[in-house]
Structure formats: C-alpha cells, structure tokens
A and B are shown apart, each in its own frame.
Chain A
C-alpha cells in the first residue's frame, strides 16, 4: 500500500504538489493522469524515494519512503538516459546485479518478446528500442510495486503497442501494484483499475474505471475532458 499524507512539494515558489493525500491499494493498476507539469512525475519520484516531500509523509506498506525503497519498487523513468558504453546484455547484467528480485528467465523472455539484440550497444539502439529495454529491466523485477513514468512518451504506435503487450503479459495482476503516469490514455485505458486526475499539484478526482463506465457511461478520455 502506498500512502500520501498531506504531501506538499515546493521548488522555490513553484508548487509541484499541494497538500495531497491519497492511498493506493495492493494489486491494482492506477493511472496518474494529467497534463505536463501537473505533478505526476514528482508523485512517482516521491514513491520511488528519489524526491523528498517539503512537508507531509509518503509511506509504502507503513514505512516512510527513503532511498532504500528501491528494493521494493521497480521504477521506469521518463528520461531517455542510458550508459552509452553498455550493450543490451550489459544493461541486463548490471540491473540484475543490483537487486535480489531480478528474474533472469523473465528478462530473457522479455528480450525475445521485444525483439532486442543482446549484443547491440545502447547508443546504436533507436529511442523505441531503448524504451523497450527500459521496460525489460523494469518488468524483469519481481517487486510488489511497479512505477512507470510516461512509458509511451515520444514513441511510435508500434513501440507503444509492444509496450502495452509487454505490460499485459508480464505484470503480476494479483500481487503487483502498478502506477502509470501518462497523459496519453488511449493505450492503457483497458489496463487501468483506477484513475487519478492531477493538475497544478492538486488531486482533482479519483475514480474507479469500471464504475465510471457503468454508472456514468464515460470512457477515461471522456471523463478527463469533463474535468480538465
């Protein structure tokens, strides 16, 4: 369970999150939806222990989040950062060496599924293939929490499709809590259990996707158009 209690994050006069409180339950897939600069990435980084609140508390399973939470959380960054000297296999070896929950079999399956050449240098990969590799090393971990920050940003439809297929095939739906921050909902709407609308650092609404469809007759995109 991930819990935000009156969390505020300020960067000088800019407020990235404004007295935000919510709880994310185990075994659900959450969509953090909102425009650029709304506070989605900051929220995910806080869950990953990479950014610290100015005030308030972020906790995971009752423990206050710090850097060590990386042992329980797999985090996929929005950044297209990579070690240029690495090959695909180097990246997998390195990721596996850093955590105890790395599933080699899953990683090999994912590499084949994403059609990546293990011997290719990362600097020779296309942006789409680097995004695929990021997903490989993230999904290959057996962590209770999975955070995906803008996994589709700047990628072509083919790559987006392969990423969604990867998520559908390799997420442990019963045991993993998944949080996906994005402003591109088309691809993931079918995956989501709950959606959290965030703008200017405020949580505007939290809805169950099924209820949204059944009681209000709205798709997530239609719902977003109403509230933003």
Chain B
C-alpha cells in the first residue's frame, strides 16, 4: 500500500460517520419537505428543498475537511509522518471529494425525481428546465467552488493552529484570523481594481448561451452566464498559492 493510499483510507474512515450523518440530513430534509408540502398544500416544496440541498453542497467539502482536521488537531500526532504536508492534505481532500461526489449523486437523483418530474412548480418552473439540462454543469460549479473554499479553510485552519505557538496571540486567535481575513479581502479588492488585473480577469470570455437563455425568463440576467477564462486562471493560481502556503505553515509552524 502506498503512503497516499494509506492516508486516503485513514481519512475515509475518519469521515465516514460525517458522511452517514450528511445522508441522514438529506433524507430528513426531504421527508420534512413532504410534510410541509402537505401542510401548506404547495407541491413545489420538495423540488425547492432538493435544489437547496444541491446548492448547499458547496459547503460539503469544507465541512468534511474541517471535521477530519479537528480529529487530527486533538493531538497533531499525524504530523509525525515522513510524508510531506501536501500529501497529508491532499489525502484528506481526496477522501472528502469521494464523499462529496457520493452525496451529490444522491442529491442529483433526488432533484431528478422531485424537480424534473414535478409537473407543477408554479413560479419556480424555470428551475425544472434549467436543472434538467444543466445539472452536471451546476454540479461541476459546486465542486470547483467547494475546492476553492476548502483550500481557504485549510489556510485559516493551519494559521489558527500555528498561532498557538505565539502565547500573546493564543487567546485571541479567532480575532487574528478575522483581521487576516479582512486584510486579505481588502487587499484582494484593491488588486482587482488595478486595470491590468481587471483586463486579465475578463480575458477569454465564453458565453454560456444555453444557460443564459434559460435564465432569461427569470431574475438572473444573461451577463451572469458569461464565463471568463482569465478569471478561472486567476482562481486556479490563488487556489494553488493558498494550498502551498497552508502546507508551508503546517510543516514549519504547527507544533504538537
């Protein structure tokens, strides 16, 4: 068994209970939606709930990773390992993705059953058409957004634990994280205003015509259905940069 496979299996086992709880919550939400449907005599409720479940999957991977990391944080003994930090982190992300995909598939099936097959959706009728044709695209978007959030979570998690080394900051670590988050947000917004960066972000525009057409009847404007390759490239660079920074902090600054 390779080191990565060993880590991956370990992380699958660590997150298994969380996965089962997640599935239970999904089914519980669906059962509750049927109860509400009967109570309010509103046939669209299960469809809306199943759509919300899909949207909430954007937080699935960060939540999964956080619970797994918190198990390790009880001792941080997982750091007594000759394998590099990126391998430790990637194994956790891979295990999280496995459960994310499984949970998303369950949710997509629910959406297919409850939205696409629901005959009367009232004012949410657009959902049926949109989801019927673009479900995979939406799931892909969820996945990429989830990865992006996950990497930022890694960064703040490692920073939080690294701050433990600095006694005068130890008691105010949440506040320090808030300051760091605010600083990064402000600096990020300033950088976005630089013309060169702005131009970079708008490079390689791809119009998602089909997607846009579907939205046109609703409240979302066609412009939001544009995809900028420059923007994607910047996001990928940020993701890689934040991941490597997290690895560096984990290896050099987090103590047992």
Residues of A within 8 A of B (CB): 11-14, 45, 48, 50-52, 66-68, 70-71, 75, 77, 79, 81, 83, 85-86, 90, 93-94, 96-99
Contacts and interface: CB of A to CB of B under 8 A. Distances in A.
B212 to A, nearest CB: 46
Contacts of B256: 45, 50-51, 77
Nearest to A48: B80
A94 B82 contact: no
B82 A70 contact: yes
A93 to B, nearest CB: 7
Closest 4 CB pairs of A and B: A97-B6, A12-B167, A71-B82, A81-B75
A77 B255 contact: no
A119 B190 CA distance: 57
B255 A50 contact: yes
Contacts of B71: 83
8 contacts: A51-B255, A67-B85, A79-B75, A83-B13, A86-B10, A98-B7, A98-B81, A98-B82
A204 to B, nearest CB: 25
Contacts of B85: 67
A70 B14 CA distance: 23
B13 A70 contact: no
Interface of B: 1-3, 5-7, 9-10, 13-14, 16-17, 71, 74-77, 79-85, 165, 167-168, 170, 251-252, 255-256
B82 A68 contact: yes
Contact of A90 (B7, B13, B77, B80): B13
Contact of B74 (A66, A75, A81, A98): A81
Given A66-B251, A85-B13, A98-B7, 4 more contacts: A70-B80, A70-B82, A93-B9, A98-B3
Contacts of A85: 13-14, 16-17
A75 B77 CA distance: 10
A99 B82 contact: yes
B170 to A, nearest CB: 8
A98 B83 contact: yes
A77 B168 contact: no
A94 B251 contact: no
Contacts of A97: 1-3, 5-7
B255 A81 contact: no
Nearest to B255: A51
Contacts of B16: 85
B2 A50 contact: no
A11 B16 CA distance: 37
A45 B13 CA distance: 27
Contacts of A77: 75, 77, 80, 256
Pick the most buried of A77, A79, A96, A98: most chain B CB atoms within 10 A of its CB. A98
Contacts of B3: 97-98
B18 to A, nearest CB: 11
Contacts of B10: 83, 86, 90, 94
A77 B74 CA distance: 13
Nearest to B167: A12
B74 to A, nearest CB: 6
B9 A94 contact: yes
A136 to B, nearest CB: 16
Given A13-B167, A71-B82, A81-B74, A94 B6 contact: yes
A11 B2 CA distance: 37
A143 to B, nearest CB: 10
A42 to B, nearest CB: 10
